[in-house]
Amino acid sequence: MFDIGAAHYMTLAAILFVMGAGGVMLRRNALIMFMSIELMLNAVNLTFVAAGREIGNSVGQMSVLFVLVVAAAEVVVGLAIIVAVFHNRQTANVDELSEMKG
């Protein structure tokens, strides 16, 4: 078998990130888009931890904690918005929510 190093983690993180970004750009369901965003955030977390371990200090882990906190707050607000929209419109399709067109 081969050793698993930082490069592997980074590659995995990149794949996850692209999947997340693709989800945000392609899916129409707000809930799915939201999950994709979480995926992107976690891809970044993975990069942080891997890089931190590679460099040999704890800054990476620390940053992850920050991201987690922000993500938690974001989830609270975001889900509340989605629920509210769904209550009013009976849909979570973002393409139908285009009243802000300029």
**Does residue 102 interact with another protein by CB under 8 A?**
yes
What are the helix (H) ranges across 1-102? 6-26, 30-55, 59-89
Q: Report in angstroms how near the CB of residue 16 gets to another protein at its nearest.
A: 15
Those residues with Cβ within 8 angstroms of residue 65's Cβ, 6 or more apart along the chain or in another chain: none
- Pick from 11, 19, 28, 55 the residue near another protein by CB under 8 A: 28
- Report residue 100: phi and psi, to 5°: -85, 10
Binding to another protein (CB under 8 A): which residues in 7-26? 21, 24-26
Rule CB under 8 A: which residues touch another protein? 21, 24-26, 28, 33, 94-95, 97-102
